[in-house]
Amino acid sequence: MGTSLIKTDALVKIRNMSFCRGKRVIFDDVSLDIPRGKVVGIMGPSGTGKTTLLRLIGGQLKPTSGTIEMDGNVIHRLSRRDLYKVRKNMGLLFQTSALFTNLTVYENVAFPLREHTQLSESMIRDLVLMKLQAVGLRGARDLMPSHLSGGMSRRVALARAIALDPTLIMYDEPFTGQDPISMGILVKLIRHLNDALGMTSIVVSHDVPETASIADYIYVISGGKVVGQGTPEYLQQDENPYVKQFIHGLPDGVVPFHYPAVDFGQDMLGEAS
C-alpha cells in the first residue's frame, strides 16, 4: 500500500473519527496520519467534507466519536485556553483568504504577531517584511485587501498564516480559481515554505496535477471514508475504481454524472400532460 512513509513520526493522528451533521454522516470511522515535515494532500470531490476535516483538526468542530491528536494533544478534549495555545502552532489558509478587510496588507500580516507576542515595533516590522518577501509581495505592503487580485490576496493570507512560524499549516483549496501563473507560484510556495521553515503541510484540494506535483503522500476521501492513499505515483496506478475515476478525471464511473433524479422523459412529459 506504500504506507511505509506514514509509520514515521506523525504530527497529526486521526483515529476512528466519525463526524455527523444531524443525520448526515460526513466522516465514518476515518483514521489517518499526517507525518511531520511532509506535504500531505487530502483529495476528494467537492462536498465530501474536506474543509470540515480541517475545521475538525483546528478544533472548531468536535468529532462525534474517535480522536484527533496534534502533537500528542487530543484536540477536542483541550480546555479553551489550551486549544488557543495549540492553535498558535497551526496556520490555516482559507479558501476565501479571509483577510481583515479594514487593515492594510502590512497590518494583516502583523496582526497575529501583535496579538500573540510582545515584540518591539521594529522587530515586528522586520518579521512582517520577511514574510511578505517570502511570498513576493513586500512591495504591496501598503495596499488594502480590496486592491489585491485573487492570487495576491491568497499569498498575503499565506504570509499571515506563517507569521508565527506554525508547525502545521493547512491549505483549504489553495488552487481554486487561480490563473496558471498564480497557481504555479502557489505550488512552488507551498513546497518551498514547507521545506525552508520545517513545517508540516496539509493541502486540501481537488486539483489533481498540482497536488500530485507537491505532495509526499495523498489521501483520497469519498463518502466519508478514505478510499485510497499512497504516494502520487502509487495512486496513478491504483486500480480502485473510485480512485481511478478521480485521479484521471473521468466524467462517468462509480460517481454518476447525473445527480439522482426521476426519469428525464417522465419529468418533462409529466409537466406537459
Interface with other proteins, residue 188, by CB under 8 A: no
> Interaction with other proteins in 113-152: which residues (CB under 8 A)?
115-116
Contact 42, 225 (CB under 8 A): no
Q: Write down the least CB distance from residue 208 to other proteins, Å.
A: 25
Q: Write down the least CB distance from residue 110 to other proteins, Å.
A: 12
Binds other proteins by CB under 8 A, chosen from 76, 78, 111, 197: 111
Residues contacting other proteins: total by CB under 8 A: 35
> Interaction with other proteins in 51-80: which residues (CB under 8 A)?
58, 60
**Part of the chain binding other proteins (CB under 8 A), chosen from 67-75, 92-100, 177-185, 222-230:** 92-100
Of 2 and 112, which CB lies nearer to other proteins in the complex structure? 112
Interface with other proteins, residue 88, by CB under 8 A: yes
Question: Residue 164 is placed in which grid cell?
Answer: 508565527
Interface with other proteins, residue 252, by CB under 8 A: no
Q: Write down the least CB distance from residue 228 to other proteins, Å.
A: 26
Interface with other proteins, residue 191, by CB under 8 A: no
Q: Write down the least CB distance from residue 145 to other proteins, Å.
A: 9
Nearest to 26 by CA among 8, 4, 44, 5: 44
Binds other proteins by CB under 8 A, chosen from 8, 100, 126, 198: 100
State how far the Cα of 156 lies from the Cα of 136, in Å rounded to an integer. 9
**Part of the chain binding other proteins (CB under 8 A), chosen from 66-74, 109-117, 176-184, 227-235:** 109-117
Pairing of strands 73-74, 65-70: antiparallel
Q: Write down the least CB distance from residue 9 to other proteins, Å.
A: 24
Nearest to 242 by CA among 265, 221, 269: 221
Interface with other proteins, residue 24, by CB under 8 A: no
- What Rg do the C-alpha atoms of the chain give, in angstroms? 20
Of 16 and 60, which CB lies nearer to other proteins in the complex structure? 60
Q: Write down the least CB distance from residue 78 to other proteins, Å.
A: 12
Contact 59, 87 (CB under 8 A): yes
What distance separates the 2 farthest-apart alpha carbons in the chain? Answer: 76
Interface with other proteins, residue 234, by CB under 8 A: no
Residues forming contacts to other proteins in the complex (CB under 8 A) are 58, 60, 83-88, 90-92, 94-96, 98-101, 111-112, 115-116, 160, 164, 256, 258, 260-265, 268-269, 272
